[in-house]
Structure 1
Amino acid sequence: MESQEEVTPPRWVRPPSSRRVVARAVQFVGATGAVFSVLPPRHHHFTLLADMIPTAGMITARVAAAVVGVLLVYLGAGLRRGKRQAWQLALMLSLLSVALHVVKGGLVPTIFAGAIAALLVAERDEFTAAGDRRNRWRAVRACLTFLGAGFALGVAEIAVRVNRLDGHSGVLSWAEHAGLGLIGVTGPVHFQSPVGALTVSVTTGAFGLLAFGSGALLLLRPSTGEQSCPVADQTRLREVLDRHGDGDSLGYFALRSDKQLVWAPSGKAAVAYRVVNGVSLASGDPLGLPSEWPRAIGQWLADCAEHGWTPAVLACGTAGGRAYQKAGLDVIELGDEAIVDVAGFSLNGRPMRGVRQAVARIRRAGYTCTILRQRDLPAETLAEAMSCANALRDGKVERGFSMALSRLGDPADGDCLLALCRDEDGVLRGVLHFVPWGRRGMSLDLMRGDRTAPNGLTELMVVSAIEAAPGFGVERISLNFAVLRSVFARAEELGAGPVIRLWCRILRAASKLWQIESLYRANAKYLPDWEPRFLCFPSARDLPRIAIAALSAESFLPARGTPAA
């Protein structure tokens, strides 16, 4: 038997092209069926059925065929990811589409729908990705809610027209009529006025469509995995970080409450990730023993394949990028992380003139800064810092995912460092929060400053933290991350080409929304070392979807309530 060390960890395998072909074919047939359903009929291909089915039934079949076509278009995204539930629904809807097109008349869409049903059966083994069981119950609840509302409204509309009905029908007949109306079938109740019959049919039919449409959408909603990391995993991860946390400055951010962990079989390495709109978004390097990284990555990729998630890694380092590349992902440079060497930092020299003058100016204004570990802060001071950080937040949204902890004051984070800046009256005007980076470093997590304070507040807090670092055994400080920093740096060099200059102008325009250039300038003034960070992804066609997921995770885009399948 092979030992664990000899087992080759799984690699990311690109989905078969046949799956993509089936998805595109289903979407094409769905779109074609929807178009044929709304076009005015020229003649009936099935004259026998046309004579047997009333006009109301024909209209119902046309509307239902259009809805089925739209749902088939929607199902294409789930089919591309190999979702078993998407395959099941697509097969059921394609067969239903055949029946509906036969009823309403239409040879071409009937042939198309039958062909796609046969294709789905032939390629059934390609669709094995599991869905989220919670989505099933959400779909059932939504479907039952709309069906119940439509049924109740249908019965009520019949009841208010009780004096305008033909014949004597009881409550059971009303209920039967409303129930059949939910699926587009005419019931036993007869109205004196065609308008009354049409009103009841439209109401019940609309709620029936809403019920089945919303159920299908929720059923195919991408799985999000577990909502939070179990306490046992958090404790286990802290132990791993204590032993192997020196490698990656982002390791401590894996302790965010919204990140999940997948472990190597040995339990000595893990990948931290969050599922956003069907993208399993990992951040930073894998955690733990580097020799076990391939197995942790393999477990994560196997989990992605099982659930139909698209794997992506945001802001990993060079070592992590190589590991993910060996596992089958593509890698591109995303930006650079600013790291300050504490021992080599000095305010002396012309390059540091701006920072030196800013710090001197605000100190003359009476501002002071103290650096303490969170566990050493009195309870009232910690509460004051938390209140100040909340008050100084820029907007209501807490931004950050890959390089933010998104909490302050948790007793479990006692090793974190806080820089508290007060004015001449002792009022707290700024807060910096640093998380541990192994045993000899710290990473900037949160930076809040009063915008009404004099210029130099941020410089004073950063410089004070760097100057105090040796007393806490800190040798290096990760300040922040600058997206596409190399573009700005190369554009400033002598002889920069037109492509680089154009790319720089585009980024400067984008900086008006996302502060890309300002983050680079804010970090560069401290003359840090720049360490590259990378984005890992399966293929170029996945990049738009990954970009949207990353921006949503970082809270630059609102999270969608019902993500697309």
Structure 2
Amino acid sequence: MSPVYPQWPRDACDDLSSRLREMIPISYALKASYFTHRRSPVSPTSSLARPLARSYRSSRNSTPAGKPSLRAAGPDARMRALLSRFGTNSMSWMTTWPGNRYWFEPEADGFVAFRVIGRVAVTTGEPVGPDPVRTLTGFLGNCREQGWTPCLYAVGANTRALLASAGWTCLQIAEDATIPLGSLAFTGKTYQDARTALNRARAAGVSARWIDYRGAAAETTAQIEEVCARWLAEKGLPELGFTLGNLASLDDPRVRVLVAVDAAGRVHAVTSWLPVHRGGTVIGWTLDLQRRLPDGFGCAMDFLIASALLTLQDEGAEFVSLSGVPLAYRSRIETRHTWLQGVLRATARVLEPLYGFASLAAYKAKFRPAYSPLYICFPRRRHAPRVGAAVAGAYLPGRRAELMLATARAFANRTS
């Protein structure tokens, strides 16, 4: 019996074909980067940069004193204790998610969360501990011992400056959108959408309710699961992972969940909020999961975010991060790596019709956040192809065939 292949509309196939053709020069460009810059030197130029460079370039047979701990298990009490003291980054709590491995300093007072994909060690944000530079130096030495190419993903300006001074390639890949609290008020034309959402929710009998997902009623959790399932079905694409939360990330007593519920008890939307700590105290929250019913209350997401901001401000939080969106930012291209940054932006244009990263970033702008750049850093420009493949694998582990099929379907749905 001859195989049956899916038949896509001709215009959908043409659209998909054109998108794939856009990716061809990106692929060739990455390969050209590998061979052109294969011998590019690294010359540390600062006292802090030298130990970082030495830790990565030292002999593979060298063994650091104290034999650091390398764990593949989930987060333990020791790691959570460190997070509660030093997890000051908006992405710090993402280090507790499944898929991460952990490298601990010999004294266990600092750690790095990472995952190894194709011999590339991709970190989940910054090192956590009292001395991030020391922790980072030890982690890079361990990468060298293991034969891994280190990739520091979604790190801030300080880490980027340190690694760039050591000759590393650093590219901006996102912006962290942060809203200072303490004097936030939804007044003036700027916050018209937030006021409208709050007023419409009040008129429609929709309220914002904080819940503990693990202890919530079975009916409530079932509705949250339905909201997430329908949201994904409407997109027609696999759910991304790595630094983007999913339903499983709600199963944590430290993660707060805010749902929009009408008078009949129907859940229209759900958001989750990750804690940010300093010195054992929660000082802020990071918006993570955002899901809503396609046919639910129209302003549900604006309503939930506005309600959360006001509540968290009343509780004394210093700030809220709306988190970063991959491949979406407003900053100008750095002249040092114009070509590679252009490759990233070309990739963003190809993926935008599918995942809408730029649209999501534009949506968050209505809350008038302050922006901080987030970077990806790796030792040599010639490592760009393997690093890019590793990051893609982190977001979609083991699901490339599913992604290709879903991508074709998504294009078919958008053009049929």
Same fold (TM over 0.5): yes
The corresponding residue for 2:112 is: 271
2:351 & 2:250 partners in 1: Cα distance? Answer: 34
The superposition leaves residues 10-45 of structure 1 with CA deviations (integer Å, 9 ceiling, x where unpaired) of: 5357779xxxxxxxxxxxxxxxxxxxxxxxxxxxxx
Q: Which aligned pairs between 1:290-305 and structure 2 lie closer than 5 A?
A: 291=131, 293-305=132-144
Q: 2:188 maps to which residue? A: 349
Q: Give the counterpart letter for 1:258 in structure 2.
A: G
The structure-2 alpha-carbon separation of the partners of 1:259 and 1:537, relative to structure 1 and needing over 3 Å to count, comes to same
Q: Is the 1:335–1:485 contact (alpha carbons within 8 Å) kept by the matching residues of 2?
A: yes
How many residues are aligned here?
334
Match of 1:336? 175
Which digits, 9 at most, give the CA deviation of each residue in 1:393-414, with x for residues without a partner? 415744221353762453xx21
Measured at CA, do residues 15 and 298 of structure 1 come closer, stay the same or move farther in structure 2, by a change above 3 Å? closer
What is the deviation of 1:262?
0.8
> 1:394 — aligned with what?
232
Change (3 A) 1:546 1:501: closer
Cα RMSD (Å): 3.6
Give the equivalent residue in structure 1 for 2:5.
none
1:82-133 Cα distance to aligned partner (Å, 9 max, x none): xxxxxxxxxxxxxxxxxxxxxxxxxxxxxxxxxxxxxxxxxxxx9979xxxx
Summarize deviations over 1:399-457 as a string: whole Å, max 9, x none: 221353762453xx212211111134221111111111111111112111101124211
**Matched residue SS, 1:455:** coil
How far residue 275 of structure 1 moved from its aligned partner, in angstroms, is 0.6
Deviation at 1:350, TM superposition (A): 1.0
Distance 1:256 1:478 in 2: 18
Equivalent position amino acid for 1:544 in 2: P
The CA deviation at 1:471 is 4.3
- Per-residue Cα deviation, 1:174-224 (whole angstroms, up to 9, x for no partner): xxxxxxxxxxxxxxxxxxxxxxxxxxxxxxxxxxxxxxxxxxxxxxxxxxx
More divergent stretch after superposition (306-315 vs 350-359): 350-359
Q: 1:371 to 1:243 in 2, by over 3 A?
A: same
1:360 paired with 2:402, answer: no
Q: Pick the aligned partner of 2:298 from 455, 468, 473.
A: 455
Structure 2 SS opposite 1:522: helix
CA distance in 2, matches of 1:373, 1:474: 19
In structure 2, the residue corresponding to 1:266 is in which secondary structure? coil
Q: Counterparts in 2 of 1:366-381, with a 5 A limit?
A: 366-374=205-213, 377-380=215-218
Quote the residue 2:86 is aligned against. Answer: 244
Q: Structure 1 residues 436 and 366, CA, compared in 2 at 3 Å: closer, same or farther?
A: same
Q: CA deviation at 1:382?
A: 6.0
**Structure 2 CA distance for aligned equivalents of residues 285 and 399 of structure 1:** 21
SS at 2:325 equivalent = strand
Gaps of 5+ in 2: 1-47, 63-68, 334-340, 403-416
**Bigger RCO of structures 1 and 2 (CA < 8 A, at least 6 apart):** 2
Q: Distance in 2 between matches of 1:449 and 1:526?
A: 19
Q: How does 1:64-143 map to 2 (within 5 A)?
A: none
Gaps of 5+ in 1: 1-5, 17-125, 130-224, 492-499
Cα distance between partner residues in 2 of 1:369 and 1:353: 19
Name the amino acid aligned to 1:332: L
Aligned letter for 2:286?
S
Q: 1:477 aligned to 2:315? A: no
Separation (CA, whole Å) in 1 of partners of 2:369 and 2:386: 33
The amino acid of 1:337's aligned partner reads D
| CA pair 365-384 structure 1, distance change in 2 beyond 3 A | same
Q: Alignment partner of 1:465: what SS?
A: helix
Structure 2 counterpart of 1:11: 53
Counterpart of 1:404 in 2: which secondary structure?
coil
Indicate the structure (1 or 2) with the bigger Cα radius of gyration: 1
Q: Which residue of 1 aligns with 2:37?
A: none
Paired residue type of 2:381: A
Q: Following superposition of structure 1 onto structure 2, how do residues 45-60 of structure 1 map, counting pairs within 5 Å?
A: none
Deviations 1:468-523 (A, max 9, x none): 11344422111121345444x779xxxxxxxx999989855541123121121111
**Residues 338, 478 of structure 1: 8 Å contact kept:** yes
Range with greater deviation from structure 2 (335-344 or 272-281): 335-344
Q: CA deviation at 1:326?
A: 5.8
Change (3 A) 1:534 1:344: farther
Q: Evaluate the alpha carbon distance shift between residue 465 and residue 326 of structure 1 in structure 2; reply closer, same or farther with a 3 A threshold.
A: same
Instruction: Give the structure with the larger strand fraction.
Output: 2
Whether the 8 Å contact between 2:154 and 2:374 is mirrored in structure 1 is: yes
Residue 342 to residue 512, structure 1, CA distance change in 2 (3 Å): same
User: How far off is 1:386 after superposition?
Assistant: 4.8
Q: Deviations over 1:362-417 (max 9, x none)?
A: 44233221124557x5443663465345434415744221353762453xx21221
Residue type at the aligned position of 2:176: E
* Partner Cα distance (1:273, 1:503) in 2: 22
- Indicate if the aligned counterparts of 1:268 and 1:288 stay in contact, CA closer than 8 A: yes
AA of the residue aligned to 1:446? L
Superposition deviation, residue 351 in structure 1: 1.6
Q: How many Å apart are 1:557 and its aligned residue?
A: 8.0
Contact 2:208 2:307 (8 Å CA) reproduced = yes
TM norm structure 2: 0.70
Q: In the alignment, is the contact (CA less than 8 A) between 1:276 and 1:552 conserved in 2?
A: yes
Q: Secondary structure at the match of 1:550?
A: helix
CA 1:306/1:509 → structure 2, altered by over 3 Å: closer, same or farther? closer
Q: Say yes or no: does 1:441 pair with 2:284.
A: yes
SS where residue 258 of structure 1 aligns? coil
Aligned to 2:78, what secondary structure does the other structure show?
Answer: helix
Q: Quote the Cα distance in structure 2 between the aligned partners of 1:415 and 1:546.
A: 32
Letter of the 2:84 counterpart: D
359-368 vs 379-388, which deviates more? 379-388
Q: Which moved more, 1:270-279 or 1:391-400?
A: 391-400
Task: Tell me what 1:550 maps to.
Answer: 391
* Among 460, 468, 473, the residue aligned to 2:311: 468
For the Cα contact (< 8 Å) 1:9–1:295, is it kept in 2?
Answer: no
1:370–1:464 Cα contact (<8 Å) kept: no
Q: Name the CA shift for 1:408/1:286 in 2 (closer, same or farther; >3 Å).
A: closer
- Judge conservation of contact 1:429–1:450 (CA < 8 Å) in 2: yes
Q: Structure 1 397/503 Cα, relative in aligned 2: closer, same or farther at 3 Å? A: closer
Check whether the contact 1:421–1:429 (CA below 8 A) recurs between aligned residues.
Answer: yes
Cα deviation digits, residues 297-338 of structure 1 (max 9, x gap): 223222222222211011111233344446663322222111
Contact map agreement 1:265 1:295 (CA 8 A) in 2: no
Shift, 1:355, TM fit? 3.2
Residue 47 (structure 1) aligns with = none
Whether 1:514 aligns to 2:355 is: yes
CA distance in 1, matches of 2:231, 2:120: 28
Tell me the amino acid that sits aligned with residue 310 of structure 1: T
TM-score (norm 1): 0.53
CA deviation profile, 1:253-290 (whole Å, cap 9, x unmatched):
1111210111222221111100112211002111011x
